[in-house]
Chains A and B, each alone.
Chain A
């Protein structure tokens, strides 16, 4: 009993801090930004967080994390707005929402579809937030079992899973992860003091700016793509005229079965590294279809389809942070970027984080729950109408805004133009990489985990006097190695199996 009290007492302590006015304001601003970035096609939650990251550099960590929590949860819902109204997915996860959301809007039930989306998203996000609060603190204790060798394998495992799961081609994901590891080595080697890959540029000796690389890789490519598309029209005024819709909360009995099931699905997928996002929305949609009394109507405007997709989408948000906060293995690309944001503020995931900065980590978990609970306020019909005004702006006008915001944000972190050059260089590189299906999140994760992996590798060698068997000596290491091999070779097995199937089917 005492252990449980000790485990969760920091939560009570963090509660009043979360409700301090500046932290609340950050949450509100984050939610507004989140709905806007989620609603604008071409800009995803990950881009939104990357865009605001440089601005949070000088802020209190909990203020910065509050903004990120707001963007994360609200952005997930924001994607549903254009998905339902325009048949354009605001985020990749909202593709599943289109299937039934758009047909509902076509028959005049846009308001009802939006209400289902926001309430279902809230249910999933709240469930996920509670799971995060309940499971992250005890899971962090597990990291006590880890020595340097085990940490080395955990970091490799996290990197491999993200690299393999995020992209379409695992080999390209692994290359992206290695590129990230290499970028993490730029600058002074913390152990030996020698300078690596700085090419005589003084600013690079102090390592590549994570903020510059992250903002460039996630902020610049969508801006270039928008400029190429040059869409000069915005949403029409008529599309935002809604007729009255029944209350979803009053009809909760109709949805509760789907909400529970898809919440569990979303949480499980969220915890799996690299699998969150669109995957959870689609799996949850299929689960809703499987248990629905009328599965044949899915795809032609069944409200349960929206409920399943949005609830599953919301449920993976906080869950993806469980491995990120406890072990430093993010469950999704967004969680990787949030982890990057935490590192910028000097917060290193793991048990140390829970012990040294309890107010921040417990506060952040509470903020995830708070933003989930506030979703109906920011995603209500009136609020949605206001936020959707951004969709009326021609998208071509957003291009210079994104460019200039990223530039000013990155410049003001260290007041050096080198960071802007780095941002643009990696922005252009990311554009080409995206075009060729090289996933970007593994690059960032590699950059974050690179120094940790190298440090633990060296530490293991020093402790065990360069005996290579030290990396395989514990059961935990062996389990992690088996998991890594499974993650790396499962796609190969799957590809061979699919090939055989195709050959059998002619």
Chain B
């Protein structure tokens, strides 16, 4: 049941996205808008059928559920798929996502290695792992390998380290 609500939510989210893109595409040149508008129309039809399917399923479950409750005034069933979980661990999901966003947004300001090392430690902490005897050597090998491959071998320019520029 919970998953079906998620399906509905994302269905409506995508419908809103597609409709807004249709408005955007309508402003293109005559030649350039045919194809995007065609694709967006197909997407809208598909989404409406997806939303309709889940809406019908949810209504059926609700109807059956209330029927069961009226027959047996007991908490017999919590509905189909009551145990379904969208997130494996929603706290960890949100923390990972939020820190992931902060990581990519601050990388250019703080520098690649500084932000990456901080992000590494934060993710390990989010995962609840505390064995520093393994974390520290893993980090050293990992960042050492990245430095050797990207900075030494391929000479790729990385976002400059903020703390190093302070001393220059």
The interface of chain A, by Cβ under 8 A from chain B, is 58, 171-172, 174-175, 178-179, 181-182, 185, 189, 191-192, 194, 196-197, 220, 223-225, 227-230, 232, 393-394, 396-397, 399-401, 403-405, 407-408, 411-412, 415, 417, 420-421, 424, 428, 432, 435-436, 454, 457-458
Given contacts A396-B129, A397-B129, contact A403 B146 (CB under 8 A): no
- Assess whether B93 is in contact with A194, with CB atoms less than 8 Å apart: no
Report Cα–Cα, A411/B120, bound state, in Å: 18
- Assess whether A197 is in contact with B21, with CB atoms less than 8 Å apart: yes
State whether the Cβ of B100 lies closer than 8 Å to any Cβ in chain A: yes
- Assess whether B104 is in contact with A175, with CB atoms less than 8 Å apart: no
A196 in complex: contacting residue of B36, B112, B134, CB < 8 Å: B36
Nearest B residue (CB) for A169: B50
- Assess whether B96 is in contact with A404, with CB atoms less than 8 Å apart: no
The interface of chain B, by Cβ under 8 A from chain A, is 3, 6-7, 10, 14, 21, 24-25, 28-29, 31-32, 35-36, 39-40, 42-43, 46-47, 49-50, 86-89, 92-93, 96-97, 100-101, 103-104, 107-108, 112, 116, 119-120, 123-124, 126-129, 131, 134-135, 138, 142, 146, 150, 154, 156-159
A436 in complex: contacting residue of B6, B88, B97, CB < 8 Å: B6
Taking CB atoms, residues of chain A closer than 8 Å to B42 are 174, 178
List 16 extra interface pairs beyond A194-B32, A228-B88, A393-B138, CB under 8 A.
A182-B43, A189-B28, A228-B92, A229-B88, A232-B127, A394-B131, A397-B134, A399-B96, A400-B119, A403-B103, A407-B103, A407-B104, A408-B112, A411-B158, A412-B158, A420-B107
Nearest B residue (CB) for A424: B104
A182 in complex: contacting residue of B21, B28, B87, B146, CB < 8 Å: B21
- Assess whether A228 is in contact with B87, with CB atoms less than 8 Å apart: yes
B10 in complex: contacting residue of A220, A399, A436, CB < 8 Å: A436
- Assess whether B89 is in contact with A230, with CB atoms less than 8 Å apart: yes
Given contacts A182-B21, A191-B31, A230-B128, contact A435 B107 (CB under 8 A): no
- Assess whether A421 is in contact with B104, with CB atoms less than 8 Å apart: yes
Taking CB atoms, residues of chain A closer than 8 Å to B24 are 197
A-B contact pairs, 10 of them (CB 8 A): A178-B42, A181-B39, A227-B93, A227-B96, A399-B123, A400-B119, A400-B120, A401-B142, A403-B100, A405-B146
Taking CB atoms, residues of chain A closer than 8 Å to B116 are 404, 407-408
- Assess whether A397 is in contact with B138, with CB atoms less than 8 Å apart: yes
- Assess whether B50 is in contact with A171, with CB atoms less than 8 Å apart: yes
Q: Distance in Å from the Cβ of B73 to the closest Cβ of chain A?
A: 30
Q: Distance in Å from the Cβ of A236 to the closest Cβ of chain B?
A: 15
Q: Distance in Å from the Cβ of A438 to the closest Cβ of chain B?
A: 9
Report Cα–Cα, A394/B49, bound state, in Å: 43
Taking CB atoms, residues of chain B closer than 8 Å to A197 are 21, 24-25, 36
- Assess whether B104 is in contact with A420, with CB atoms less than 8 Å apart: yes
4 closest A-B pairs (Cβ-Cβ)? A396-B127, A228-B88, A400-B120, A230-B127
Report Cα–Cα, A232/B135, bound state, in Å: 12
Report Cα–Cα, A400/B108, bound state, in Å: 18
- Assess whether A407 is in contact with B107, with CB atoms less than 8 Å apart: yes
Taking CB atoms, residues of chain B closer than 8 Å to A185 are 35-36, 39
Nearest A residue (CB) for B146: A408
A424 in complex: contacting residue of B86, B100, B128, CB < 8 Å: B100
- Assess whether B146 is in contact with A404, with CB atoms less than 8 Å apart: yes
- Assess whether B97 is in contact with A224, with CB atoms less than 8 Å apart: yes
Q: Distance in Å from the Cβ of A373 to the closest Cβ of chain B?
A: 28
Report Cα–Cα, A342/B114, bound state, in Å: 34
Taking CB atoms, residues of chain A closer than 8 Å to B88 are 225, 228-229
Q: Distance in Å from the Cβ of A432 to the closest Cβ of chain B?
A: 7
Taking CB atoms, residues of chain B closer than 8 Å to A408 are 112, 116, 146, 150, 158
B129 in complex: contacting residue of A224, A394, A424, CB < 8 Å: A394
Taking CB atoms, residues of chain A closer than 8 Å to B126 are 227, 230
Report Cα–Cα, A424/B126, bound state, in Å: 18
B29 in complex: contacting residue of A179, A192, A396, A403, CB < 8 Å: A192
Taking CB atoms, residues of chain A closer than 8 Å to B46 are 171, 174-175, 178
Taking CB atoms, residues of chain A closer than 8 Å to B159 are 411, 417
- Assess whether B120 is in contact with A404, with CB atoms less than 8 Å apart: yes
Q: Distance in Å from the Cβ of A223 to the closest Cβ of chain B?
A: 8
B108 in complex: contacting residue of A194, A404, A417, A457, CB < 8 Å: A417
Report Cα–Cα, A404/B142, bound state, in Å: 10
Nearest B residue (CB) for A197: B24
Taking CB atoms, residues of chain B closer than 8 Å to A401 are 142
Taking CB atoms, residues of chain A closer than 8 Å to B29 are 189, 192, 194
Taking CB atoms, residues of chain A closer than 8 Å to B128 are 230, 232, 396
Taking CB atoms, residues of chain B closer than 8 Å to A400 are 119-120, 123-124
Taking CB atoms, residues of chain B closer than 8 Å to A175 are 14, 43, 46-47, 50
- Assess whether B154 is in contact with A58, with CB atoms less than 8 Å apart: yes
Report Cα–Cα, A175/B17, bound state, in Å: 13
Report Cα–Cα, A420/B107, bound state, in Å: 10
A432 in complex: contacting residue of B10, B129, B154, CB < 8 Å: B10
> Quick one: which of A172, A404, A411 has the most chain B CB within 10 A?
A404
Report Cα–Cα, A99/B117, bound state, in Å: 41
Report Cα–Cα, A415/B150, bound state, in Å: 12
- Assess whether A196 is in contact with B25, with CB atoms less than 8 Å apart: yes
Taking CB atoms, residues of chain B closer than 8 Å to A457 are 35
Q: Distance in Å from the Cβ of A403 to the closest Cβ of chain B?
A: 7
Report Cα–Cα, A225/B89, bound state, in Å: 9
- Assess whether A397 is in contact with B135, with CB atoms less than 8 Å apart: yes
Report Cα–Cα, A436/B46, bound state, in Å: 15
- Assess whether B142 is in contact with A182, with CB atoms less than 8 Å apart: no
Report Cα–Cα, A415/B119, bound state, in Å: 20
Q: Distance in Å from the Cβ of A285 to the closest Cβ of chain B?
A: 29
